[in-house]
Structure 1
Amino acid sequence: LYALNTWLGLLLHELLAKEKPIIVPEKTEEINEGSCVTIPCAYKKLKDETCTLLWFKDPKYDDVSKMFIGTIVYSNIEERPQSPAYSSRVEYITDATSLKQQKHQNDHWIKCDLRITDLQKTDSGNYGFRVINSEKFMSETLTLTVTDNPCKVHTEPSELKNPLQESEEFTVRCSTFGSCNFHPEWLIYTSGQKQEWMSSSSLTEHYSQQLSSSLFLFLDAPKETKATVSSENVKEGDSVTLSCTSTGRPDVSFKWFKKEKTEKAQQMSDLTLISVKPEDSGEYYCEAENKHGAKESNIIQIDKVSQCNLWSALKISEGDKLALKCLVQKSNPTVYKFTWYKNSQVQSETSETFIISKVTAEDKGSYQCRADNGIKTATSDDLWVSVMRKYYIICSTLYYLCVPSTNKCLVLYILTKTCINILLYCTKCDALLNFSFSVLTDSPRNIKIKGVASVKVGTPLTLTCSADSDPPPHMYTWKHKPGLSSVPLSMETGQLNIKKMTIQHAGQYTCDVTNTIGTGSHTIKVDVLYALKNVSVSSKGEQTFGSELTLTCEAHSKPAPSSYEWKKRFNGQLKTVGHEQILHFYFLEITDSGQYVCIAHNSIGKTESPSVEIKVKCEYSFLLVTHFNAPNINIVHNMTIFTQWNWKLSVYLTCSADAYPPATDYKWFKQGDKTKVVSQQQNFTVWPQNPGMYYCTAANAIGKSRSEHIMLFIGSEYEMAFIK
């Protein structure tokens, strides 16, 4: 291994002395063939800055592409790939080195050594390092000369007089011209370029310390010739490298072809196309050749997409038709997608042509198209479309008067509605003239009102009126229909402001815009949204037992009610009984009696109606008398027959009635010679000393009913009866 150990010290010394951005020793070095060499290098870089790094052999600046070209020995980017001849023999050695002597803390010196192994005589040349970041730098070059190696093996015969055929046997002898400290070995290349090392068994050492050996070899014509490309997707402006490989003995030379035309003949296997242009598209192949024959490679297809251009007439007037076409000069494959932009905003059109049937002032702006063929997208330049307005032309008599003292002209012309003074410069004072003059002018048009069309009650409203007008407007007037009077506004803003909207503010708003030529107007509708109001319940039908009754919920709101809810007050609480606008009772029962409310909903809120009471009218259907023996209620409840030994216990009676309206008048009677009222309460206690037959009555506003009688404390036994 041969290394330039002292170069790095010289490099650092030179770096500190001259502050160069890249340091590569500018000198000439001779290295033996088959050895290895390390070229020292260092470059200055800022923190967090991405760099493109390239080592060149024989770099040369190309004025057309504005790039350095040459054999790329090392590269850290795919766009400029490494030459295959160096792919297995080059090592890039780097680390971040901070020098104490550097003046700026943000600067870092980075090691960029290049090591090449198994040097060939073809490696001779000038080597330079290229750094591309925010700036571009190229180092000085080191000249490397690869010399003959004294221990290099030589073969006998050096060449064959007659070509050998495949599988033909021959003998070749290798030897060295000088003394060597190691034994020669045979390196056999098989057809697959696989290396096999074999030690010679017939090694003999001569007095001259020369070495020799013999081995059988097989030589053949080029085989397995293959062409490859550094990038499958080639884009216009990119650089691409075509590489050719082949097997054969002796070594082969290469030629590159494009469509049966020789593109370049060279011994190297690489063909580099810098800054691909449309004419570079096509089919490429290489040919490998030696004394025994030639072999062509496979075909490499290079396709590209051209930049697209926009083509359209620029003189567009209001009402005209505008057609923009995205022209793609060449594309392989075919463009499958077009995207259109106006003022950097994506448009809905996706075809090759962008059409506006009737141009308006709003269509002016910057237009751009983008073409996509699946490999690359290309974007056109911006095209500015100006929309010229169409004016009304008013012709009038114009009076031209020259004022010599000021060398100015006073021009008066009369329009149909007003007089305008125009002051012009004149080059010569002549007599009073009059002539016809065409005035390009227009009344307000394209009037727009900007503002919300729906607003909640109690919130503010702002409407802004604008128009295209030449001459400019001098007055704006707002009108409301119905109900509100006209509201004049300042001509600077044309803005209507209402701080707090009410229901009465809903309706149509018209903006009148006036200039010296005429008046134009525009109208919009404004809805005022408010919560439900005046929610009420109406009924239809009789409120009697068994009849049909309908309750309807009515409400006024903007927007209209979206849902309804019915609730019934039950035991002091509201219970939901329906969700439609109408609550229908097909057969009224007593249990339907109560207070009902309706709740109406819309997007603003909800409102509850006043309660409506339903009173189901009916006569008594039955009365129930129950009695209990007190104070042992459980025992009384568990017994069905009383015997005389328990006559000392009193009986508690309750008169229970089920009716609506509720019973308000209760009476207890004891039946005898003279039936009399014994109590006017709902509950009554009978003691054993007052035996007899008892019954009760209950009355309400509808009528009165009587229960069946019950006998108490009569005879030896009796039954407790439930009277209905």
Structure 2
Amino acid sequence: MSSTAAASGLVVFLLSVQVIQSQDGWGVTYSPTEVCALKGSTVEIRCSYTYPSRIQHRDIRNTFWFTKEKDGEPVSLITDSEYSGRVEYICSEKWCTLMIRDLRENDSAEYKFRFMTNQPGGKYTGSPGVTLSITGLQVEVSRPYSTRLLMKCLSSCVLPYYPSYYWYKNGQKINTGSSLFVIFGSSDSYSCSVSGYEDQRSPSVYAPKLPSVSVSSSAEIVEDSSVTLTCSSDANPAANYIWYKKDVNPDPSFSEEPHLVFSSIQSSDSGQYYCRAENLMGTKRSESISIDVKYAPKLPSVSVSSSAEIVEGSSVTLTCSSDANPAANYTWYKKDEDSPKASGQIFIITDFRAEHSGSYYCEAQNNRGRSNSTSYLIAVSDKTTMIIRYTRWTLVVVIPILLLLVCLWMRKKKALSSTTEPHEPIETVELHSYPDYENVSNSAAQREDSEEQEDQV
């Protein structure tokens, strides 16, 4: 490094020794061949050159530095638009210095020197050239304690002198020194610089900002389709991501990638999802995003209002249910009939008759598809006829017999009360049940006539 550069505080780093190339008196010597410099600083790359003794200095017509060629010919940095206003050649007899100001990261390249004379074949390029690496300051973060972070201001280049370091919190200078302790989880940002280049600060480090969550498609999410959720957060160092599904106790983690991929999403994947972004500086949770998977109705089920036997004149209610999203609409059919019987989830037959007996099924449909239930057989119970017959037999046979027996008993009691003397034994009358009530009546009449004759005697 020249004395001028040293005096101006240029941050230039020399990493190798001189190398000389020569051929028949032609040669270029670079010192050094590898240079590392801070972004934003100024660097000088020097070389010396030689040529055969038959050539005089007055024969040197052109000297320049280059990094690339056009149509097989080197392009001088002076004419390269990427270096416009930032490049200067400082040359004299047999040596030349390249000065580049306001170094940028894309200035990293291999630089070569070329000189040309007015003699036939009198031109030479020093190859290989000088490798220039541009670097910036970086803040290295570690967490030696659970609640405190250790920050160090570093560069991949070795500084040729011991500089002073400055620390900045949210852009304001707060401290000096090569390291700094801060509280974990702080929402502040931190950066550093070195003396002489305070305006060339390191990138700020900070905890993740509020993560945002996006879904791969803004259209309706359909079962069996591919869906990708993406979590992103502004953070330095770069954040790591963890995905969670909400309302599962505890919320389980699904992925530790920025993307949560469902290659064939299912209805069971519906729910609320959120992500957590974290780095050494802290952690931040995103808002939840709702995933609503649409699907055609599943196989419907049919239930009847009563498990008891159905009798004529009763009310029967059939209910159809199917898992679907969006909710299904329902239509009722009787087997072997084309026209629907009813619409709606519930089908009611208020006055069930024998002609209503048969197999019924429902169809569930939405905009994703449709599905039919299995048939459900309902019929009038056979016990209905038995009940009617039993009722008729009771009315026609049993009740008249009972009434007749009651009348005879009352008549006999009256007769006995009018003819029986005191202390005279009372004759007991036995009643017998007969299957034929006419025979019972005749027998009672004959008994009465016999008793009257005995009274007359």
Q: State the TM-score, normalizing by the size of structure 2.
A: 0.40
TM-score normalised to structure 1 length: 0.26
Q: Which has the higher contact order (CA 8 A, sep 6+)?
A: 2
Write 1 or 2 for the structure with the bigger share of helix. Answer: 2
Answer 1 or 2: which has greater strand percent: 1
